[in-house]
Structure 1
Amino acid sequence: MPRENDMSDTTTPNTVADATSVPVIVPPPLAASLQRAANANAAPETAPLLAVSQSDADSPKLFRQGQIQSCLVSTIVHLIALLIFAIVTYSASQVSPTMISLWGRQVEPTATVTLEVAKDHSELENQLSSDAEKPVDVTIAQSDASAIQSPLIMESQSAILESSELGQIKAGSTAASSAQLIRLPGGGLSGRTPQGRKELGEKYGATAQSEAAVEAALQWLALHQRPNGSWSFNLDVDPCNGRCRHSRISGDSPTPSTGATGLALLAFLGAGHTHHTGEHSETVRRGIYYLRGIASESEHGLDWQSGSMYSHGIVLMALGEALTMTRVDDKYDSDLMDLVRRGSYFTSVAQHYNGSWGYVPGSPGDTTLTGWQVMSLLAAKRNGIHFRGNELPMAKEFLMSVKEETDWTFGYKTPQGEPTMDAIALTLLLYLGHAPGHTLFDQAIDRIADRGPTLTNVYHDYYASLALHHTRHRDWDKFNSKLRDHLVRSQATQGHESGSWHFKDKWGDVGGRLYTTAMSAMILEIYYRYLPLYDKIEEFPL
Structure 2
Amino acid sequence: MIYAAKRSPLAWGWVLLGFGSLWVVAGLLFVGCGRQEAKPPAAEVAQPEVPPPPPPPKPIAIAPLSPISVDPGQKVQVEVKIDRAGNSGPIDLAVSGAPAGVKVSVSQIPDGESVGTLEIAADQKLGDEELKATLKIQAKLGELAAEKDLELTVRKITLPSFAPVKDVVLFPGQPASVKVQVERSGFGGGIPLRLVGVPQAITAKVEDLPPGSQEITVQLEASADAPEGQHTIRLVGTVLGRDIEQQLNVKVDRTPIRLVSFRVLTLRPGDSQIVRIPVERRAYEGPIRVEVENPPEGVTIPAVEVPAGGKEAILDIQTDPQAKEGVTTLRIVSRVGGYTRWDPMILRISYGETGFLPREIMADPNLAPLLRRGSFGGRLTAESKEALMRAYGGTPEAHQAVMLGLRWFARHQAKDGRWSLKYYHEARPGCDCWSEFEKEVANEDVAGTAFALLAFLGEGVTHNRAPERPSELMDYRRVVQRGLEFLVRTQVSDTKSKEAGKLSGNMYAHALGTMALCEAYGLSQDERLKIPAQLAIRYLMDAQHSEGGWRYGPKQPGDLSVTSWVFFAIRSGQLAGLMISKDPLVRAQRFVDSCACGPAEMIRTRYCYDPRAEEKQPKLSMTAAGLLTRQYLGCRKDDPELVAGCQYLAQNLPPENATTLGQIYYYHYATQVLHHMEGPEFDLWNYRIREHLIRTQQKEGCKAGSWNPEGTDWGNRGGRLYATGLAIMTLQVYYRHLPLYRPIIRTATGGGTLGGEVKEGVD
TM-score normalised by length of structure 2: 0.45
Counterpart check, 1:533 vs 2:740 = yes
Q: Find the residue that maps to 2:501 and give its secondary structure.
A: strand
1:436 is aligned to 637
Per-residue deviation, 1:375: 0.9
Contact 1:236 1:247 in 2 (8 A): no
Q: Of residues 411, 414, 417 in structure 1, which corresponds to 2:608? A: 411
- List 4+ stretches of structure 1 deviating above 4 A: 179-184, 535-539
1:309 is aligned to 507
Root-mean-square deviation (Å)? 2.5
Alpha-carbon distance in 2 for matches of 1:246, 1:430: 38
Per-residue deviation, 1:490: 1.6
Question: Aligned runs of 1:27-66 on 2, under 5 Å?
Answer: none
Which sections of structure 2, spanning at least 5 residues, go unmatched?
1-349, 357-370, 467-473, 656-660, 746-751, 757-763
CA deviation profile, 1:362-419 (whole Å, cap 9, x unmatched)? 1112111111111111111223322443111111110100101623210001232111
Contact 1:471 1:535 in 2 (8 A): no
Q: Find the residue that maps to 1:258 and give its secondary structure.
A: helix
Compared with structure 1, are the counterparts of its residues 254 and 364 closer, same or farther at alpha carbon in structure 2 (3 Å cutoff)? farther
Contact 2:547 2:557 in 1 (8 A): yes
Question: Aligned runs of 1:35-184 on 2, under 5 Å?
Answer: 180=353
Alpha-carbon distance in 2 for matches of 1:241, 1:299: 42
Alpha-carbon distance in 2 for matches of 1:517, 1:240: 20
CA deviation profile, 1:241-265 (whole Å, cap 9, x unmatched)? 65114476344x7441001101110
2:376 is aligned to 189
Q: Find the residue that maps to 1:303 and give its secondary structure.
A: coil
Compared with structure 1, are the counterparts of its residues 247 and 212 closer, same or farther at alpha carbon in structure 2 (3 Å cutoff)? farther
Q: For this pair of structures, how many residues does the alignment match?
A: 358
The one-letter amino acid paired with 1:186 is R
Counterpart check, 1:457 vs 2:457 = no
Compared with structure 1, are the counterparts of its residues 181 and 465 closer, same or farther at alpha carbon in structure 2 (3 Å cutoff)? farther
Q: Find the residue that maps to 1:348 and give its secondary structure.
A: helix
The one-letter amino acid paired with 2:722 is Y
* Larger Rg over CA atoms: 2
Alpha-carbon distance in 1 for matches of 2:395, 2:418: 31
Q: Of residues 394, 398, 406 in structure 2, which corresponds to 1:206? A: 394
1:480 is aligned to 686
Contact 1:248 1:510 in 2 (8 A): no
Alpha-carbon distance in 2 for matches of 1:248, 1:188: 37
The one-letter amino acid paired with 1:482 is R
Counterpart check, 1:344 vs 2:541 = no
Alpha-carbon distance in 1 for matches of 2:522, 2:670: 25
1:84 is aligned to none
Contact 1:402 1:411 in 2 (8 A): yes
Contact 2:662 2:713 in 1 (8 A): no
Contact 1:224 1:240 in 2 (8 A): no
| Identity %, equivalent residues | 31
Alpha-carbon distance in 1 for matches of 2:448, 2:720: 11
Alpha-carbon distance in 1 for matches of 2:648, 2:509: 30
Higher relative contact order (CA 8 A, sep 6+): 1
Alpha-carbon distance in 1 for matches of 2:720, 2:442: 16
Alpha-carbon distance in 1 for matches of 2:437, 2:534: 31
1:238 is aligned to 427
Alpha-carbon distance in 2 for matches of 1:267, 1:482: 21
Compared with structure 1, are the counterparts of its residues 482 and 541 closer, same or farther at alpha carbon in structure 2 (3 Å cutoff)? closer
Contact 1:314 1:372 in 2 (8 A): yes
Alpha-carbon distance in 1 for matches of 2:569, 2:755: 33
The one-letter amino acid paired with 1:296 is V
Compared with structure 1, are the counterparts of its residues 247 and 230 closer, same or farther at alpha carbon in structure 2 (3 Å cutoff)? farther
Q: Of residues 712, 732, 739 in structure 2, which corresponds to 1:505? A: 712
Per-residue deviation, 1:541: 7.6
Q: Find the residue that maps to 1:302 and give its secondary structure.
A: coil
Compared with structure 1, are the counterparts of its residues 390 and 541 closer, same or farther at alpha carbon in structure 2 (3 Å cutoff)? closer
CA deviation profile, 1:160-186 (whole Å, cap 9, x unmatched)? xxxxxxxxxxxxxxxxx9x95799942
Higher-strand-fraction structure: 2
Compared with structure 1, are the counterparts of its residues 541 and 291 closer, same or farther at alpha carbon in structure 2 (3 Å cutoff)? closer
Contact 2:354 2:754 in 1 (8 A): no
Alpha-carbon distance in 2 for matches of 1:241, 1:326: 35
1:427 is aligned to 628
Alpha-carbon distance in 2 for matches of 1:384, 1:438: 28
Contact 1:233 1:247 in 2 (8 A): no
